[in-house]
Structure formats: structure tokens, C-alpha cells
């Protein structure tokens, strides 16, 4: 979790997307996150973590379902939600 902790301690807000390749709702989130990145540019970092490839970090953070999105800034969790999140909600959350 060293690299992960380093990334989330940034002053740049970091939205972490915990997903899985077999997850239908995760596929729905992908273009929403691309749209969010296009909208926010350098003011937001989006980090995608495959729970099947990173089971330790998923377990440590209590990820029980995918997709789960967590917003961090300066190492603090500001927001967390599971399921498909509409673009408008994510955009206002990261303003």
C-alpha cells in the first residue's frame, strides 16, 4: 500500500475507482470517469484499481462490492460510494 498511500496524500484530489473486469456496472462507470477526467483535467487524479489484481488493498479498505469509488485529498477520505455514480454527482463532488 506504500505507493497507494503516497498517491492519496497528494493535495490534488484523487478519485479511486475499485473495479473488476467481469463487473457490468464497472463498464458503465468507465465512460463516466473518462468524461470526468476530460472535464477536470489536472485538477483531479483518477486511479483505477482492479480488486482481483489487488485483493490486499481492497480487503484493507473494506471494499465489498464493485464499483466502489473513494475520493481522497491530503490522505483523508472525503467521500465513498458504491455503484454507478452519475457524472453530475461526481462533477459537483470534485468541484
> Given a cut of 90, is residue 95 above it in pLDDT?
no
CA distance 50 to 69: 12
Total number of domains in the chain: 1
Strands, E, within 5-82: which ranges?
14-19, 45-50, 68-73, 76-82
pLDDT of 21 reads 96
Would you please indicate which residues are annotated as catalytic (active-site) residues?
23, 26
Task: Render pLDDT for 57-70 as a digit per residue (tens, 0 to 9).
Answer: 999 999 999 999 99
Task: Render pLDDT for 18-40 as a digit per residue (tens, 0 to 9).
Answer: 999 999 999 999 999 999 999 99
Assign residue 65 the CATH number of its domain.
3.40.30.10
Which domain does 85 fall in, by range?
2-93
> Given a cut of 80, is residue 94 above it in pLDDT?
yes
Amino acid at each position: 500500500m506504500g505507493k497507494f498511500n503516497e498517491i492519496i496524500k497528494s493535495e490534488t484530489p484523487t478519485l479511486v475507482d475499485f473495479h473488476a473486469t467481469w463487473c457490468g456496472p464497472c463498464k458503465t462507470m468507465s465512460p463516466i470517469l473518462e468524461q470526468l477526467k476530460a472535464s477536470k483535467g489536472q485538477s483531479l487524479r483518477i486511479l483505477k484499481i482492479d480488486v482481483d489484481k489487488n485483493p490486499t488493498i481492497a480487503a484493507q479498505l473494506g471494499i465489498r462490492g464493485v464499483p466502489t469509488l473513494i475520493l481522497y485529498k491530503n490522505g483523508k477520505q472525503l467521500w465513498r460510494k458504491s455503484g454507478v455514480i452519475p457524472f453530475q454527482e461526481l462533477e459537483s463532488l470534485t468541484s
